[in-house]
Chain A
Amino acid sequence: MIKIPLLSLLILSSCASVKKDAPESDPNAAFNKEKPLKTSEVPKYIENTPQSVNPALMDETTDRYSNSELAELKETNDPLIDIAVKCSQEDFKGAFALASNSFNKYQNIASYWNIIGNCHLNQGSPRKALLFYNKAIEVKANYVPAMNNIGVLYSRQGEKQKALVAFEKANKLAKFSKTPRYNLAKLYLSFGLAEEALVIFQGLLSSSPEDLDLLNTVASCYVLMSNYQEAFSHYQRIPRAQWTKPEVGLNLALTLKKIGKDDEAMSVFKGLAETKSPALKKYQVSIGTQLGEKE
């Protein structure tokens, strides 16, 4: 029997109230606070999203946005999105300052704590991130974004099996949430489970057929499954400008080779942009070999 890792959630104590004789109402300026918002008063999805080359998950995440797209998002009136954008742009000081200012208003909103968790994760503090994700789950039980993000956290730490459990759980809790499914499929694909990944990616792609990232992943699934024609048909829907990206161009080159378009294959291979990723570099060598490229 294969053993499956378990998620351990750390719950911080915060359930107790302060002493009874502590202030209750607040007529004084020093104690004036914004009234905490209710969950129903906060949008469940990202509004006013900009045009994007990867629009499939745009109502759930800013993580797939390019810098220019993020710059557009910055103009929203949604403080939580503002925090997320700042974090994505690595303006952590600004992000936490904004979070602090939004504390009273958003302290009962799971999304607020989830976004703070994301900031800490992006800042390289996975432990802090985990504590805030747990806070989000405490505020709203089974809060799917936080569950998903815990999966991301594990994934980034290399604990893929734990990440899988988190994504699966998130997916199970919210069958129509796209991001956990996307992450799950990507994880499958990363470990060779192309058929399992393909089903999910195709589902996502059907909703956002122009999503370049999804086109690439679907194509990659077909490459792994040795269905190069199908792969090629998807690559074709990706603008050529994207072909220079190694994570697209390497498998495209292989596909072209496999369907007999050796020259095009070599052309794409040669036109690949340089990558710093050791894994991609290594894979580039493998593909080169397949293309007849000498080291």
Chain B
Amino acid sequence: MLKYLLPTLFVMNLAFAAKLTIDERRKKIISIVDEELSEVSRLAKQQDYKSPDTLLRMSELNLEKARLWREAENEQYLALPPEKRRDVSKDDYFKKSSGYFEDANESALRVVKRFPYYQGLGDVYYILAYNNKELGKHDLAQKYFKKSADETSTNSTIAFKSKLALADYHFNQHKYQEAIPLYEASINKIDERWWTKDAFNLAWSYYRVKSYDKAIRLMKEVHKKSSNEKYIDMRAMVERDIGIFYVDADKFNDAVKFYEKLGLDYGEQFIKIASTIMTQGRFAQAEALLEQVEKTHKSGPKRTQILVAQLSLYEKFNKIPKHLAICKELVAIHQKTPLEKSQYTSLVFHVNKQAAQLQKATASDLYKSVSKVQKEKASQAIAYFELSAALSPGQKAEKVFFQGETSYAANDFPKAITLYLQAFDLAQATVDKKIMSQSLDGMLSSLGQPGFNAKAAEKLYLPVYTRYLSYDSKSAKANSIYLKLFNTQYDSGDVPAAEKTMAEFAKSFPADYKTQEGMLAKIMEHYRNKKDYEKVKAYVASINAGEFKVSKKYADALRSLMTKLQIDGVQQSLKKGDKGVALKGYHQIYQAKDSTPKAKVNAAYNLSALYYEMGNANQSYLWSVTALKDMDTKDVSEFSDSFLSIASGLFLRQNFAQSSDLSHRILGKICKQNSANKVVAFKNAAYIALANGNMDKALEIRNFGAGCAIPESVISEVSFEILKDLSKSKRWEAFEKLLTELEENPANYPGLIKPYEDLRKEFVSIGNSEQAAALVTKQNKFYQRSIQDKLEVPVEALDIIADRLLSSVIEKKQRLDQITLAFPESEFNASVKQKLTLLDQLTSDVTQIQKTGSGRGIVAAYKYVIEAYESFGNELRGFTPEGKSPEYIASFQKAMSEVYQPILTNAKKQRGEIRKLIKDNKILTVANYDVLYSKDENFKRFISQKDAVLMEREGKR
């Protein structure tokens, strides 16, 4: 039965193998199988399932049906779109075939259970094994294949097939030692189409257990038999794998012979082998294999292949120098004739990978302490990046940048900067902003490394900074780069370049006054040192034109510099004593269009000083006025001593109006300044104006000074002097106005008494008695207040007050004189009494006048009192009552003598007192004659037409 069955199965297999997708044909076979199955099933039923052969046949037919349906189901399942296939249940698609497999199994298992001694049991097990293998139940399949092999006769085909199936299971499970005897036991027993395939597996099993000779021999046999159409053609696989066997057997030459005999390119084979064994980590062998091949392939595509293969090998083997050499050769080849795409891709991959890895290694901490190795790695990385750039010219900028980065990591900063510079230039050509930016960062960072040799760095500043600014001229970093570039250029002596940088900086950072100032300061200092003042002036002009923005402070400093430059030359003349030249120079500076205002002021000032020294008062005055007009208040204050000297000099040279005017102008300038010279200027201006008879000017100055915080005492002092002149010139309105202002301050009261007396007299003279009387009241008030405040009252004021008191004395004296002594006695006595009372009052009045301290008043008062006493005493002495007897008269005169004697004595005493007072105090008053001399003698005078004598020289002493 089985003999019949198996061919059927095989035919069916072949039909399937021929892609029996023809449903009709499958239907016919199924129909035939169904027909027999129907017959066999009926027969089995008739036999009550007691015939194992019938049951076995049922199982075989069900198995055949299962296979046919499984094929159809499989096709149907595979025809589903993948996405739909994922969502369906696979069991549902294989339901029918699975049913037939189960049926086949059921029949076979019924035989195994019911007929344990059935002679065809081995065949049943084989069917069960095969069914389970198909169902993917390999453990069961393996179990039944074993039982099949054991239950069938040793030489039966089923036994050999079962052993082969088991050998395959062992082979696939890498159990070569167990597979080998099963293959050996069965392989030569079945001379069928699959022998080459099974023998191939056996050869590999030999190889795996290192039986290389057996393996090689069997492989050669497989190769030989494969040429026969009867067998599966395994030649290609043998040609592929036998090389490995030779290599492992260390039989290169045999391998070469094998391939050469077959007319095959052993090189290609070796390359394949090398690739294969490399995957197994057998690098030394792969290397040897490829080196062997390489010797005989010095050029051409094969060499390229060898080189490409070596790439992987050396990479795996980490043989960097060799790998690099291969890469270089491949790149050279590629540059002549482009590599195949896969080769090119592989090469690019290797080059870039190595470059990256080596760069990483260079930068790693691992080699930091091993400088030599680090440098080697860096060098290699750079070489790889070089090749990478050659392979990808469009990325050259990036590759060069990486080279720079590698050098940087290796602390080779000069080289890094050189490479960064190249990278930048390349990137700039292709407008690769990223690389440009990164390169610049690299350059700047390199320059800033502490270990970088200063001299070497200096040489690189220029190219680096120049490039940076071509990329970025506006950022904060650009700001600092400009400054560094400027300094580099300046320090290297390339001032024109530094100037250009400065100009560009000014455009990029117009608001950065401070940096512009710093740059300008250096440039201008340079030109100053070179005495190229035209250039300095040009820069100042540029600043004035706004080309460079500087702070006000700096602009002022520059103006000062310009002033200094303009003045310097003339100053030199002065230092040399060449004053004539200096004078001319200052005139030129003053007239020059490009002179700064400060220079002009300076020139004007110095001209005034020079003319002053020359004795040219008029020019000195005019230039002083010019200088003062434009000079800063602060400077005027600083030079006020000098200006005052010039003003004083003008006065001394009899130029009074100019002197006063100049002092006035000085005051005008320093009016609001805290300067001691303010008072000097004020007083000089006012007094000289007065001295020059210019009262209006003096008043103007006085009024101006009041607004300059001149001390009030000084204002008052000047005001009182002005009052004197106003009084003399009878300018009463201005006089009164000034008085009114002065009386606002009680401290002025003592000084106001005399001027108010002048005014009062004027009022009297014009008949305005009311105003005159009011002024008397005011004067008295001022006097009383002054005494109360213990203020010093001028002598003239005291005289006025004393004169006022004196009028009372005069009045009493007149009243006394008017009282006539006459009898009757009672009337006489009353008159005497009246006169005595008046005398007492007069004496009292003198005391009051004495208290004023007025010498003139005191003398005058004494004069009247002495006269009163003397006249009254003498009157009493000479009085003779009329119509009285001589006795009475004698008695009366005797009595009167007791009255007049003391009076006359008192008069004499008073005369002595006042004489002493006059002499002791040298009181000079015309009343002196009246009290110093008797009434008969007091007419005498010394009158001289010549006043006091002026003195010119100290004389012979």
Contact = CB atoms under 8 A, between A and B. Distances in A.
Interface of A: 1-5, 10, 12-19, 21-31, 33, 43-46, 57, 59-64, 80-81, 84, 96, 99-100, 103-104, 107, 111, 113-116, 118, 121-122, 125, 127-128, 130-131, 135, 143-145, 148-149, 151-152, 155-156, 160-161, 163-164, 167-168, 174, 176-180, 182-183, 186-197, 217, 220-221, 223-224, 226, 246-247, 250-251, 254, 275, 277, 279-280, 283, 286, 289-290
B940 A224 contact: yes
A155 B947 contact: yes
B582 A127 contact: no
Interface band, chain B? 35 or more
A224 B692 CA distance: 42
B942 A127 contact: no
Contacts of B693: 125
A278 B656 CA distance: 36
B644 interface: yes
Nearest to A145: B951
A114 B955 CA distance: 14
Dominant secondary structure at the A interface:
helix
B612 interface: yes
Given A145-B952, A155-B948, A104 B942 contact: no
Contacts of B593: none
Given A13-B677, A174-B957, A80 B952 contact: yes
A157 B566 CA distance: 55
Contacts of B571: 21
B376 interface: no
Given A18-B612, A220-B942, A57 B644 contact: no
B372 interface: no
A131 to B, nearest CB: 6
Contacts of A29: 580
Choose among B649, B793, B926, B951 the residue with the greatest number of A CB atoms under 10 Å from its CB: B951
B954 A156 contact: no
Given A103-B653, A127-B690, A251 B942 contact: yes
Given A59-B953, A107-B652, A131 B691 contact: yes
Given A33-B615, A155-B948, A18 B646 contact: yes
A251 B940 CA distance: 8
Nearest to A196: B919
Given A2-B858, A17-B642, A104-B615, A12 B948 contact: no
Contact of A22 (B574, B647, B854, B923): B574
Given A16-B642, A151-B948, A161-B855, A99 B654 contact: yes
Contacts of A43: 953
B2 interface: no
Contacts of B940: 223-224, 251, 254
Given A2-B858, A23-B574, A127-B691, A178 B955 contact: yes
B645 A13 contact: yes
A26 to B, nearest CB: 6
A164 B683 contact: no
B345 interface: no
B919 A31 contact: no
A12 B952 contact: no
12 contacts: A1-B853, A3-B793, A12-B684, A14-B644, A17-B645, A28-B577, A43-B953, A100-B653, A148-B951, A192-B933, A226-B937, A254-B940
B932 to A, nearest CB: 5
Nearest to B639: A19
Contacts of B943: 190, 246-247, 250, 277, 279-280, 283
A115 B365 CA distance: 102
Contacts, number: 281
Contacts of A96: 654
A160 B578 CA distance: 54
Interface of B: 571, 574, 577-583, 605-606, 609-610, 612-615, 639, 641-642, 644-649, 651-654, 656, 677, 680-681, 683-684, 687-688, 690-693, 793-795, 798, 853-855, 858, 917-919, 921-926, 928-929, 932-933, 937, 939-957
A5 B921 CA distance: 12
A111 B953 contact: yes
Dominant secondary structure at the B interface:
helix
A19 B654 contact: no
A113 B374 CA distance: 98
A26 B577 contact: yes
Choose among A4, A115, A188, A190 the residue with the greatest number of B CB atoms under 10 Å from its CB: A190
Contacts of B680: 13
A131 B932 CA distance: 38
B928 A16 contact: no
A289 B939 CA distance: 10
A19 B687 contact: no
A23 B610 contact: yes
Contacts of A250: 943
Choose among B577, B924, B954 the residue with the greatest number of A CB atoms under 10 Å from its CB: B954
Contacts of A176: 955, 957
A167 B798 CA distance: 23
Nearest to A189: B942
Contact of A27 (B577, B651, B691, B933): B577
Nearest to A158: B947
Contact of A31 (B579, B928, B933, B950): B579
A217 to B, nearest CB: 7
Nearest to A62: B952
Given A3-B793, A251-B942, A18 B947 contact: no
Given A127-B687, A224-B933, A279-B943, A61 B949 contact: yes
A16 B641 contact: yes
A30 B580 CA distance: 7
Contact of A12 (B605, B651, B858, B947): B651
B951 A180 contact: yes
Given A22-B574, A22-B613, A16 B654 contact: no
A197 B941 CA distance: 13
B952 A28 contact: no
B941 A283 contact: yes
Given A59-B953, A145-B954, A191-B924, A30 B652 contact: no
A100 B683 CA distance: 25
A24 B577 contact: yes
Nearest to B644: A13
A156 B947 CA distance: 7
Given A180-B951, A224-B933, A13 B648 contact: yes
Contacts of B956: 44-45, 59
Contacts of B647: 13
Contact of A144 (B645, B919, B954): B954
A152 B954 contact: no
By Cβ-Cβ distance, the 8 closest A-B pairs, closest first, are: A16-B641, A28-B580, A60-B955, A127-B691, A14-B648, A192-B928, A23-B579, A145-B951
Contact of A224 (B639, B853, B942): B942
Given A13-B677, A31-B579, A224-B940, A177 B954 contact: yes
A60 B951 contact: yes
Contacts of B578: 27-28
B157 to A, nearest CB: 135
B955 A177 contact: yes
Contacts of A18: 609, 612-613, 642, 645-646
Given A21-B574, A195-B919, A279-B943, 5 more contacts: A3-B795, A17-B645, A59-B956, A99-B654, A190-B924
Nearest to B690: A127
A218 B647 CA distance: 48
Contacts of B794: 5
A19 B606 contact: yes
A192 B918 CA distance: 10
Contacts of A131: 651, 687-688, 691
Given A23-B579, A135-B652, A192 B853 contact: no
A193 B933 contact: no
Given A5-B795, A22-B574, A178-B955, A121 B950 contact: yes
B687 A57 contact: no
